[in-house]
Amino acid sequence: MAESTVKRRKRGMSRLERKNTLIAYSFLAPNFLGFAIFTLVPVVCAILLSFMEWNGGSISAIKWVGLDNFAEIFKVEKVAEKWAEGNYFYFFNRVDLGIALKNTVFYTVVTVPLTLVCSIALALALNKVKGAVAFRTVFFFPYVASMVAICVCWNFMLMKDGPINQMIMALGINFNKSWTADSTMAMWAIILVSVWRSMGYYMVIYLAALQGVPRELYEAATVDGANKWQQFLNVTLPQIKPTTFFCSIMLIIGCFKIYDTVAIMTEGSPGRATKMLVTYIYDVAFNQIKYGIASAISMVLLILVLIVTVIQFANEKKFANV
């Protein structure tokens, strides 16, 4: 019965309807064409390349190698061998991909909540304060400033005798080394710069969200005797939940794709301490000229981002509705 309705509808599509449909498609076309040429086709090529061997040069040199690239990046044999010896962490401690994965996940897990907390705090502080516009501009500024300039400046500030270390020393903590030259602190330097850079942007989004929280709710809460903190926990936070959902998705995906900060500040050093998935992909693709293997690594990244996105959207109703 439903089928026949559809059929009738199709047949019954008037000229006007058809015309409107065509107009709609024509509006979509420019965007879709751009997407197809610059995103869809490269993505499909990358998926195919991840099963092939290609070290640049002529296209005739491309060879189908099946899952070899994945065996290579996961160092399957070596990892299995070490596992049998009882060395269970070999993959995450010694294999490039394992290290890059570990670093990227650590970076994401720390950066996302930290950025969210900082931007909510900033938004609350600047919601109803005098001169808010000026402050908002100041905090938003890093987001529009050149990444290279930002990273170079931070590199200077985080140097051995730089201002940040001097402050730390003044607090009585003995740390006398360039942050980017220290295996542990290099990662924190990158987290610090990332949070500092993007919190202004998310602050603006939160500011908009805060405007949308109905006043009556606060009034009601006040009448019920809730203090400011309780109001924040029980009124503000639930009300801005959809924004938090949006921000966290954007942040997580952005964090997995971290590249520029690392490339400028540390180049993955010292050693492999700040090697991330994308810097690893870059190295394999454009220094080692192994497009097949680089594509295989990018598939790992794709799957990771996909998993996160699927989990988030599956729970969208729970997270995104007030």
Partner 1 sequence: MLSGGDTSDIFMVKENLDVMKWAQQGFAKPLTDYIANSGFDMSGFVGMEPNYAVDDVQYALPFRSDFWVLFYNKTLFDEAGIAYPTNDMTWEQYEALANEITGKSSCKYGAHNHTWLSAVANFAVCDGVNTLLDGEYSDLQYFYELALRMEASGAIRPYTEVKAANLHYSGAFQTGDTAMMPMGYWYVATLINNRKEGLYDFDWGTTALPHKDDVPAGSSFGNLTGVMINKASQNKDLAWEYISWLCGPEGSQVTAATGNRPAWVSSEVADVLASVEGFPADENSKAALIPTQVSIEIGTHEKLAEIQTVLNEEHTMIMTGEIDVAEGIEEMNERVAEVLE
| Binding residues vs partner 1 (CB under 8 A) | 58, 78, 152, 155-156, 158-160, 177-178, 180-183, 268-273, 283, 287-289
Nearer residue to partner 1 within complex by CB, 202 or 291: 291
Tell me how far, at minimum, the Cβ of 47 lies from partner 1, in Å: 24
Q: How far is the CB of 24 from partner 1 (least distance, A)?
A: 48
Consecutive H or E run containing 64? strand 63-64
Distance (Å, rounded) from C-alpha 174 to C-alpha 187?
Answer: 19
Half-sphere exposure of 156 (CA within 13 A, CB side): 5
Tell me how far, at minimum, the Cβ of 287 lies from partner 1, in Å.
Answer: 5
Question: Quick one: DSSP state of residue 143?
Answer: H
How many residues in total does the chain contain?
A: 322
Q: Which amino acid belongs to residue 135?
A: F
317/104 Cα distance (integer angstroms)? 28
Q: Which is nearer to partner 1, 63 or 228 (CB)?
A: 63
Residue 20 or 183: the one with the smaller Cβ distance to partner 1 is 183
- Least Å from the CB of residue 106 to partner 1: 18
Handedness of CA 67, 73, 78, 80 (dihedral sign): negative
**Smallest gap from residue 288 Cβ to partner 1 (A):** 4
Close Cβ partners of 197 (under 8 Å, ≥ 6 residues apart) = 142, 143, 147, 150, 261
Question: For residues 115 and 180, which CB has a smaller minimum distance to partner 1 in the complex?
Answer: 180
Q: Which is nearer to partner 1, 80 or 125 (CB)?
A: 80
Q: Which residue has the tokens 């924040």?
A: 232
Shortest Å distance, C-beta 311 to partner 1: 34
In the bound state with partner 1, the residue whose beta carbon lies nearer, of 135 and 188, is 188
Residue 276 per-residue DSSP state: -
Integer Cα distance of 320 and 239 in angstroms: 10
**Pure H helices in the chain:** 2-11, 15-35, 41-49, 68-74, 76-84, 90-94, 96-125, 132-144, 147-157, 163-170, 185-211, 215-223, 228-231, 237-239, 241-256, 260-265, 277-282, 291-314, 316-320
Residue 242 or 270 having the CB closest to partner 1: 270
Please state the closest distance from residue 268 (CB atom) to partner 1, in A.
7
> Toward partner 1, which CB reaches closer, 119 or 180?
180
Q: Report in angstroms how near the CB of residue 180 gets to partner 1 at its nearest.
A: 6
